[in-house]
Amino acid sequence: MSQNPSPALEEGSIYDLSIAGRRASTIPSKEAGLPSAGDSLPAGMLRADSPHLPEVSELDLVRHYTNLSRKNWSIEVGAYPLGSCTMKYNPKIHEQTAALPGFSRLHPWQPAEQAQGALALIYEMEQLLVEITGMARASFQPAAGAAGELTGLLIMRAYHRAQGSPRDTVLIPDSAHGTNPATVRLAGYKVKQIPTDGRGLVDLEAVRSAMSENVAGLMLTNPNTLGLFEREIEEIAKAVHSKGGLLYYDGANLNAIVGIIRPGDMGFDVVHINMHKTFTTPHGGGGPGSGPVAVSSRLEPFLPGPIPDLDQGTGRYFWDEDRPQSIGRVHGFYGNFGMVVRAYTYLISLGADGLHNLSERAVLNANYLRSRLEDTYQTAHPGLCMHEFVLTARKLRREHGVRAMDIAKRLIDKGFHPPTVYFPLVVEEAMMIEPTETESKQTLDALAQAFLEIAAEAVDDPEVLHNAPVRSPVGRLDEARAVRQLQTRWRPPGTGQ
């Protein structure tokens, strides 16, 4: 494989702005009495030239990144109805609290005695998550949802081994996120897929017949990725537990049920929470996230360590390192602490009443939008949904040659970010829509209007959809070419990799 020279990018890479001798940085000037690198380090280790970084002025770089940012959609630009992503408003106060120097300038090797506020925050956040999930204890080390999944499965693995019952398989519904099967393999297990039944729910009989003493457990998202609540969860839990298995809750869709029903009360043994979804830490264009894992009391000994604890006698917080059955560390330090500060800020702002409102209005918004669209588009499964719903463009494709991707791209022209498309895999031409609770009825009406206009265009003039988007900074991009002519770094025009 070789890499081709960069196409001449219109706004280009910052390297295209580079002029030898220009600079933005100011470094404290050399003080008398300081040894030089030449005196301190062996000559053989020193390089002659510096790495090729861009040479730009401060204004060059501020303009470059400002102009780049203007080519990006964000929650603060407009609605972002991506299913399963929970793109709600990220309150501004979170950035202020996370930036307090007592948090942002706290060094991770500082001992607990210097970090009492941070340990107190993690400890209190754990109490909040335990109450919300109905679990016993939690760890904040996992840096994102997938890291939480792996941590949870390793806890399940350690538990089964401690029981003297190593098992080799984990059950996953066919509607699951891709991280579930990928994680199962990393945890050393085999995947067995459970089909979705005609109602869009996990096939209970299939779970029953797949469960055995060899199955470590079942990973489930509830509500599932079709936006439907797994109403037979009690029976599913019974089927899993009766064979000694454990039930894993993928928290991707927790936004639908906060304060209404708790994973622990449904029978789940392990839960991960996507704080960058439900508890609205900003998604940063793809991260950082935070994926704490909460467990029931029988799994508590296996949580990653250390965990903050409170010495009731002295009122001081300390790191509990004495956890002999712990699966060990899963992060270089304590996880994405800065995101925990933001999520904590959110939870104490909302309180119990706010959290209850959150789920109610997320579900209200999704059902309202569904009701506006389901006469024109088809829902994958008719009836009430939870916080999201899945439409299918199957009919439009068959009758007018218009695909879910075309509809998605045309929405861009109408001023909206598209929904999640082609997921879940069990629905043909899927469009998965999650408006979240922070969008107003007026925004939902405008979004519905855009969808309805597109459906009309699909009949009258499908070419408009095939050619969309036309109002975005670039047109549809050639992903196949990006693979075929791999170019993942800037190179001077005319040079190869």
Partner 1 sequence: MDYTPHTEQDIAEMLDAIGVETIEDLFSPIPQNLRLGRRLALGGPKSESEVYDQLYSLAAMNTATDRLTCFAGGGAYDHYIPAAVRACAGRSEFMTSYTPYQPELSQGVLGAVFDFQSMICELTGMEISGSGLYDGAAALNEAVHLASAATGRKKVVVSQAINPNYRRVLDSLGKSLNYEFVTAPAGRGVTDFGDVSDAAAIVVGQPNFFGCLEDVRAAAELAHGAGALLIVHFDPMSVGLLESPGTLGADVVVGEGQCLGNDLNFGGPYLGIFATRLEHARRMPGRIVGATVDVHGNPGYVLTLQTREQHIRREKATSNVCTDQTLMAVTASVYLSWLGPSGLRELGERCVGLTHLAADLAGQLPGCRVRFDAPFFREFVLELPGNAREALSALAADGYLAGPSLEAFPGMDNCLLVAATERRTVAQVEQMIKSLGQVIA
Site for partner 1 in 348-407 (CB under 8 A): 348-358, 360-361, 363-365, 367-368, 370-372, 384, 386
Q: How far is the CB of 461 from partner 1 (least distance, A)?
A: 18
Residues 320-339 that bind partner 1 (CB under 8 A): 327-339
Yes or no: say if 267 and 237 are a contact pair by the CB < 8 Å rule.
Answer: yes
Which x/- pattern, by CB under 8 A, does the window 205-224 give for partner 1? --------------------
At position 286, the amino acid (one-letter code) is G
Residue 415: count of CB within 10 angstroms of its CB: 13
Query: Which pair of structure tokens corresponds to residue 168?
Result: 């080799």
Q: Which residue has the tokens 């009766």?
A: 242
Size of the site for partner 1 (CB under 8 A): 210
| Ranges assigned E (strand) in 273-359 | 293-295, 307-311, 316-320
The CB-of-400 to partner 1 minimum distance in angstroms stands at 20
Position 265, amino acid: D
- Count of residues in the chain: 497
Can residue 234 be called a binding residue for partner 1 (CB under 8 A)?
Answer: yes
Q: Residue 342 in contact with residue 350, Cβ under 8 Å?
A: no
Closest CA relative to residue 405, chosen from 383, 423, 426, 387: 423
The residue among 274 and 398 lying less far from partner 1, judged by its C-beta, is 274
Q: Which is nearer to partner 1, 392 or 420 (CB)?
A: 420
The footprint of partner 1 on residues 110-169 (CB under 8 A) is 110-111, 113-118, 120-121, 128, 131-132, 143-147, 149-150, 154, 157
Q: Residues 204, 261, 446, 452: which binds partner 1 (CB under 8 A)?
A: 261
The rounded distance, in Å, linking the Cα atoms of 127 and 117 is: 15
Residue 200 in the binding site for partner 1 (CB under 8 A) = no
Q: How far is the CB of 395 from partner 1 (least distance, A)?
A: 23
314 binds partner 1 (CB under 8 A): no
Question: What SS3 class is residue 219?
Answer: strand
By beta-carbon proximity to partner 1, the closer residue of 206 and 448 is 448
C-alpha distance from residue 490 to each of 10, 50, 286, 486 (Å): 14, 17, 21, 11
Q: For tokens 């009391």, what's the residue?
A: 297
Q: Give CA angle at 349 (348, 352), nearest 5°.
A: 65
**Residue 315 is a binding residue for partner 1 (CB under 8 A):** no
Residue of the chain from 194, 273, 380, 408 that contacts partner 1 (CB under 8 A): 408
- Can residue 465 be called a binding residue for partner 1 (CB under 8 A)? no
- Residue (42 or 494) nearer to partner 1, CB: 42
Say whether residue 251 binds partner 1 (CB under 8 A): no
CA distance 254 to 5: 45
Residues 272 to 311 in contact with partner 1, rule: CB under 8 A: 274, 276, 282-289, 291, 304
Binding mask 44-73 for partner 1 (x = CB under 8 A): -xxx--xxxxxxx-x--xx-xxx-xxxxxx
Is the CB of 159 or the CB of 337 nearer to partner 1? 337
> How far from each other are the two terminal CA atoms of the chain, in whole angstroms?
10
Contact 264, 462 (CB under 8 A): no
Is residue 14 within the footprint of partner 1 (CB under 8 A)?
Answer: yes
